[in-house]
Amino acid sequence: MNFKKQLLQLQNQGAYRSLKILPQGTFNFCSNDYLALSHHSKVIEGALQATKKYGAGSGAARLISGNNDLMERLEYEVSQWKQVESSLLFNSGYHANIGVIPALADENTIIFSDEFNHASIIDGCRLSKAKTVIYRHNDMGHLEELLKNPPHPPFVKGGDSHFVPPLKKGVRGILIITESVFSMEGDLAPLEDLKELAEKYDALLYVDEAHAVGMFGENGVGRLGKNPSENILTMGTFGKAFGSYGAFVCGSDVLKKYLINKARSFIFSTSLPPSAMGASRAALKIIQGREGENLREELWSNVSVVNKELGLDQGESPIFSIKIGDAKKTMALSERLLKDKIYIQGIRPPTVPEGSSRLRLTVSARHTVKELFCLIKNLEKIL
């Protein structure tokens, strides 16, 4: 393979990617650290104390020798917060999706996936080898039309669906997958409609709440709320609003045991470092308390300012998608903003569809009004 030729081709297409270290004094408007907890003194202290007690790393996968009481306490605390029977930690949202989806689905399963779902969901569907059907973004009419007349999966002779052991009795091998808050669009999935369709068509609903937990719902529990029904699985991450690292999947005790035995990204990965779990435990306490409420109020106030001043007619989440279209133009605008100490990353294919490159702007509780108006002024100059 000619690597140089491939890289040159990416450059010509405006799709070449490189790493950046932001200059000092740059205002970061594309981080997922929505509540600014990555710099919170209690979260940092949680990481330090866990490291002092448990060491820098776990040393192995959890099924070998990498399990400890810190992990089990964090899982218990997440379960109490979400009011579910059990939770299972994964190393990231990506690890969760590429582990859970293939554990639930196989050649005898049909997956219905939103067209704008995250790459980790797409990869999880591919790894499952299930028949995957894409429904139009947030189009419940289209989804129901597909559910009424689902294609036949390529059944394996003598094969049994993976759904039977861990899930609701009667589920017939249909899995609906959606993000709760879409990471590139910033809009919200119609969860109530999705729940109704899952119930009506005897399907399992898998909801990726990566960009919702910490910010939505009572005590930041997410858009699904507490104690979701037995045909709903939820995944959340610690790497965004929690300001830490890792992920969790919530469900029944049986589901947890099943995933421990079937989710390959869990089985074969060295478990999370103590520092990440100590930080996540501290962040969870903040998110559930009065300080968490205050941070959410600050966040949504900042979202309102940007939405109003730029006239974006978005503001359902802290994610704003400013569509440009052309990939090269998008990246040129991103570079121009960076010269003015405003960092907004340009998003291009394959992350988004061809012709829909955009500036993905995110707002956090940490941004001051002065910073927001500096952002707005610079955006108005170039748009």
What is the mean pLDDT of each successive set of 10 residues along the chain, which is 383 residues long? 89 86 90 97 98 97 97 98 96 98 90 96 95 96 92 53 40 84 96 95 94 97 88 95 98 93 97 98 98 98 94 91 92 94 93 91 95 94 88
R_g of the chain computed on alpha carbons: 21
Closest CA to 127 of 100, 167, 155, 146: 100
* Burial category of 235 from C-beta neighbours within 10 Å (exposed 0-12, middle 13-18, buried 19 and up): buried
In the numeric block, which tokens belong to residue 141? 């009419």
Cβ contact 156:107 at 8 Å: yes
Active site residue 108: no
Active site residue 162: no
What is the rounded distance in angstroms from the CA atom of residue 234 to the CA atom of residue 100?
Answer: 11
Q: Collapsing DSSP states into helix, strand and coil, what is residue 327? A: helix
- The dihedrals phi and psi of 236, each to the nearest 5 degrees, come to -135, 165
Half-sphere exposure in the Cβ direction for 311 (13 Å, CA): 2
Active site residue 52: no
Structure confidence at residue 147 (pLDDT)? 93
Q: How many other CB atoms are found less than 10 A from the CB of residue 37?
A: 30
Q: How many other CB atoms are found less than 10 A from the CB of residue 22?
A: 11
Contacts for 303 with CB less than 8 Å, ≥ 6 apart:
315, 317, 318, 363
- Catalytic member of 31, 32, 68, 219: 32
Structure confidence at residue 313 (pLDDT)? 84
* Burial category of 18 from C-beta neighbours within 10 Å (exposed 0-12, middle 13-18, buried 19 and up): exposed
Structure confidence at residue 226 (pLDDT)? 87
- Catalytic member of 183, 271, 275, 280: 183
Contacts for 267 with CB less than 8 Å, ≥ 6 apart:
61, 63, 260, 261
Active site residue 183: yes
- Catalytic member of 33, 106, 179, 209: 179
Active site residue 179: yes
- Catalytic member of 95, 131, 240, 256: 240
- Catalytic member of 95, 118, 195, 367: 118
- Catalytic member of 114, 208, 209, 371: 208
Cβ contact 180:212 at 8 Å: yes
Ordered by where they begin, the domains of the chain are 16-34+318-382 (3.90.1150.10), 41-288 (3.40.640.10)
Structure confidence at residue 227 (pLDDT)? 78
Cβ contact 51:281 at 8 Å: no
Q: Give CA separation, 263 vs 125, 185, 249, 269, in Å.
A: 13, 29, 11, 10
Paired residues of 113 in beta bridges: 134, 177
Pairing of strands 27-28, 204-208: unpaired
What is the rounded distance in angstroms from the CA atom of residue 282 to the CA atom of residue 288?
Answer: 10
Instruction: Report which residue type is found at 274.
Output: P
- Catalytic member of 211, 275, 317, 367: 211
What is the rounded distance in angstroms from the CA atom of residue 104 to the CA atom of residue 264?
Answer: 12
